[in-house]
């Protein structure tokens, strides 16, 4: 099952992950790559992955490419609103647009949010 992992992390967290990946690559250590989309705050993640947009992702998951009109029909929403939401998801790298339509090339989306004490 292909999963897109979504994580809220600080810039320092992203930097640490990149440095770790570089160190593994330099040492020749093979590590399975996980598709990962990161946001710097919960608010940023929620702006992109609002409930209506998550419904679009769910409608596309494992279905291949669909037209925007078909996504709107399946969700019972107007085409213009779905088009706006799909454009936001494409710009964020969550879904893809091809000649055949729009697609979410994963079977599921997994969100990770760590909440800790303020510094």
Distance separating alpha carbons of residues 67 and 24, to the nearest angstrom: 41
Total domains in the fold of the chain: 1
Q: Which pLDDT value is given to residue 14? A: 62
Range(s) of the domain holding residue 67: 3-113
3-state secondary structure of 64: coil
Q: Which pLDDT value is given to residue 26? A: 74
Strand partners, 7: 38, 112
CATH number (domain holding residue 14)? 1.10.10.10
> Does any domain span residue 37?
yes
| Contacts for 69 with CB less than 8 Å, ≥ 6 apart | 79
Q: Which of 75, 31, 37 is nearest to 57 (CA)?
A: 75
Here the tokens at position 111 are 């969100």
Per-position b or e across 66-82, b if 16+ CB within 10 A of its CB: bebebbbebbebeeeeb
User: Strand order of the sheet with strand 36-39?
Assistant: 36-39, 3-8, 108-113
> Does any domain span residue 118?
no
Q: Which pLDDT value is given to residue 49? A: 95
Write down the pTM of the prediction: 0.79
Task: Give the end-to-end CA distance of the chain in Å, rounded to a whole number.
Answer: 38
What does the pLDDT profile of the chain (119 residues) look like in tens digits? 899 999 987 666 666 666 766 676 677 777 666 788 888 888 999 999 999 999 999 999 999 999 999 999 999 999 999 999 999 999 999 999 999 999 999 999 999 877 765 55
Q: Which pLDDT value is given to residue 61? A: 95
Rounded to 5°, angle at Cα 11 from 5 and 15: 80
């Amino acid at each position: 099952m292909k999963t897109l992992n979504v994580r809220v992390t600080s810039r320092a967290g992203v930097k640490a992950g990149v440095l770790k990946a570089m160190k593994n690559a330099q040492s020749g250590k093979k590590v399975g790559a996980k598709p990962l989309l990161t946001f710097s705050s919960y608010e940023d993640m929620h702006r992109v992955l609002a409930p209506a947009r998550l419904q679009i992702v769910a409608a596309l998951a494992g279905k291949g490419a669909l037209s925007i009109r078909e996504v709107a029909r399946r969700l019972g929403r107007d085409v213009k609103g779905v088009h706006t939401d799909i454009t936001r998801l494409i710009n964020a790298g969550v879904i893809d647009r091809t000649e055949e339509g729009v697609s979410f090339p994963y079977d599921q989306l997994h969100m990770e949010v760590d909440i800790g004490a303020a510094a």
